[in-house]
Structure 1
Amino acid sequence: MNPTRTPLRRRSLTTGALALTGALALAACGASDSGGSGAGPGRTRTVQTAMGDVQVPLKPRRVVVLDTAELDSALTLGVRPVGATHVEAAAGFPGYLPEDRLAGVKDVGEMLNPDLEAVAALEPDLILTSKIRHAAQYDQLKNIAPTVMTETTGYPWKQNFQVHAEALGRQAEAKRAVAQYTAHTKKVTAAIGGTAKAARTEVNVLRFIEGADIRLYGDRSYIATLLKDVGLGRPPITAKAKDGFSYDLSPEKIDLADADVIFRSTYGDPKKSKETQTVGSGLWKKMRAVRSGDVHTVDDELWIQGIGYTAADRILDELRADLTEKR
């Protein structure tokens, strides 16, 4: 999910400044009194972040994550956060994540507008997020707990994962996750006919978004990195993506998105996202991917919002199934 271009409605904070101040003080007291937090003298490490060097506990025990990528990273690394945000359009946390690993994780509000009082009440010893999401709240967040921010989210997910692993003290687990992912991509490539056939298969990913144009993903997006790692081809239209991220289309120009294979997801109401209008049009029905039956509807939470190695593992399985179904 792109950090700046997904239309999410903001809501105002519901807590007053006085209540937040009290909660911050409570969190500070709780952190200093927590004997097992690893935050005492000699029990910290320095992590390089988008906001400069941050001292984090050697072994964080109460972690709060403020976006889906950080939640995916934590669970991939075997860490159950005490708190996490949710994406506005979703009810709860991403459905692709195992429910048993989310048991007990407190929802601390919408991703773009977290409830800082709720965060502070959890007495975290580490907060994970990105600068592009929460730079405006950084001073408040760092007064609650050491806050590790990457610069952005989405495309640099592999580098961000390493920052998360360092902050959590889970570098060995990170190494295993990367190795498993690499092995998985190779298996998918082999299953769809090898590197040459994969490169000849042009794939587009479309997202219908409520209140916005249709988004065609370019090469500097999370999902495109997975396609590249499998070795799949991309149509020339992807080169027109703004900043490499996406190229916006209207229903009247949907034929520009044609490819051998199309994966499509929807964020919000199908009618308000122009999905219903588009897939019922003559232009859509004439596209070769549509005529050949190679258009696949995928879960937006997984393919677009997930961003991480746990999401990637599921996506790779779906890619393999869809690309070998008729081949």
Structure 2
Amino acid sequence: MHRIARRSFLAGLGGAALTACTTRGPEPSTADGLGASASPTPAPPVTVNTAVGPVLVPGAPLRVIVLDTDVLDSALTLGITPIGAALPALDTRFPEYWPASRVVGISRVGQAGAPDLASVRALRPDLILSNQTRDGDRYDQLRAIAPTVLAQTSGAPWKANFQLHAQALSRVDAGVAFLGAYQKHANQVAQALSAAKLSGRKVSLVRFVEGGGIRMFGKQSFPGIVLSDAQVGRPDAQNVDQSDVEIPLDQIAKADGDLLLYATYGDPGRAGTDAALASPGWQALGAVRAHRAFPVDDQLWFQGIGYTGANFMLDELQRFLGA
């Protein structure tokens, strides 16, 4: 999807959901004669059941730091611009599916999985969001800085994680609204594909990872779940209850499908993308010969891991399939 279309979609979906449903603190009272100048009553703290047990977090937190890509999507989707964020080591920019105006004020606090704790502390957060996979081994250090909410992992449980993030951010009603809007969108895409007799097309997902080889993504992954919600088929080798499967280049035939979507994390040369796309095995794929193999944005398709990213993916999927 072009950036302008993405921004229009984001403004329409986010604005409608947040206007209707974002939890707000009580309005200031005028009974004491102070009128509108009185400070609003602070929102009460909230107990959140996290992967490490109950955590008491401040109500309606504003100084939020996110330490992985899923919580970045959650916070921005729910109308909160984090004061700090950690990004994967090989990412040099914030995801471009967000307008620059939404991320311009976010400070980088190191890389996901190895945040700079001094930078985190210096920003004086009142809430930190991450997951055990990334930051379980430094949980005590993080919670010494600010209340820290960890999901168990990112990826497959992204929908449940979003609701956890919504609770921690005092945006529960907005979280429910985004869930409903996404489900409606997924159903609309599924219906459009069915009407165009495209539901039977098998969509392959391949990611070239610098230092991690060639990976095919199964049903128990963020993009795999989005495809499932759109009711599209998957190639046999990817129609499995796994997140991803690494394959050598000489088994690239397993990545074939009616539609092949591929992305690169890191440098295309070092990730093996360039070599793979030039190989006889890749050139022999049915999707490649039919001109149905398309590069996609890695930060959207494999790192978005949230409702805003998922909604953009649904639109791109529909466009790629030609419905």
TM-score (norm 1): 0.83
Distance, in Å, in 2 between the alignment partners of 1:246 and 1:76 is: 26
The partner residue of 1:321 within 315, 319, 322 is: 319
* SS across alignment from 1:85: strand
CA offset digits 1:266-297 (Å, max 9, x no partner): 11222222222221122222211111111111
- Asked whether the equivalents of residues 193 and 318 of structure 2 are also in contact (C-alpha less than 8 Å), the reply is yes
How far is 1:204 from its partner? 0.8
The partner residue of 2:259 within 261, 265, 279 is: 261
In structure 2, the partner of 1:19 is none
155-164 or 184-193, which moves further after superposition?
184-193
* SS across alignment from 2:291: coil
Alignment of 1:273-312 (within 5 A): 273-312=271-310
In structure 2, the partner of 1:60 is 61
Matched, 1:154 2:155: yes
In structure 2, the partner of 1:176 is 177
94-103 or 163-172, which moves further after superposition?
94-103
* SS across alignment from 2:211: coil
How far is 1:99 from its partner? 1.4
* SS across alignment from 1:266: strand
Distance, in Å, in 2 between the alignment partners of 1:213 and 1:191 is: 35
Matched, 1:107 2:108: yes
CA RMSD of aligned residues (A): 1.9
* SS across alignment from 2:253: helix
Distance, in Å, in 1 between the alignment partners of 2:284 and 2:250 is: 13
- Asked whether the equivalents of residues 64 and 119 of structure 1 are also in contact (C-alpha less than 8 Å), the reply is yes
In structure 1, the partner of 2:12 is none
Q: How many pairs were matched up?
A: 285
How far is 1:187 from its partner? 2.0
In structure 1, the partner of 2:164 is 163
144-153 or 205-214, which moves further after superposition?
205-214
- Structure 1: gaps spanning 5 or more residues: 1-34
* SS across alignment from 1:127: strand
Alignment of 1:154-233 (within 5 A): 154-194=155-195, 197-198=198-199, 200-233=200-233
How far is 1:87 from its partner? 1.7
Distance, in Å, in 1 between the alignment partners of 2:163 and 2:196 is: 28
* AA of the residue aligned to 2:257: A
Matched, 1:125 2:122: no
Matched, 1:94 2:92: no
In structure 2, the partner of 1:26 is none
Distance, in Å, in 1 between the alignment partners of 2:94 and 2:151 is: 21
CA offset digits 1:206-247 (Å, max 9, x no partner): 01112332100011100000000000011111246xx71111
* AA of the residue aligned to 1:213: G
CA offset digits 1:18-40 (Å, max 9, x no partner): xxxxxxxxxxxxxxxxx99958x
How far is 1:78 from its partner? 0.7
* AA of the residue aligned to 2:222: Y
In structure 1, the partner of 2:50 is 49
**Runs of 4+ in structure 1 over 6 Å off:** none
Change (3 A) 1:204 1:261: same
- Asked whether the equivalents of residues 208 and 265 of structure 1 are also in contact (C-alpha less than 8 Å), the reply is yes
- Asked whether the equivalents of residues 206 and 216 of structure 1 are also in contact (C-alpha less than 8 Å), the reply is yes
* AA of the residue aligned to 1:59: A
CA offset digits 1:50-88 (Å, max 9, x no partner): 010000111212111111100100010111111111221
Change (3 A) 1:37 1:321: farther
- Asked whether the equivalents of residues 258 and 289 of structure 1 are also in contact (C-alpha less than 8 Å), the reply is yes
Distance, in Å, in 1 between the alignment partners of 2:58 and 2:86 is: 22
* SS across alignment from 1:152: coil
- Asked whether the equivalents of residues 198 and 321 of structure 2 are also in contact (C-alpha less than 8 Å), the reply is no
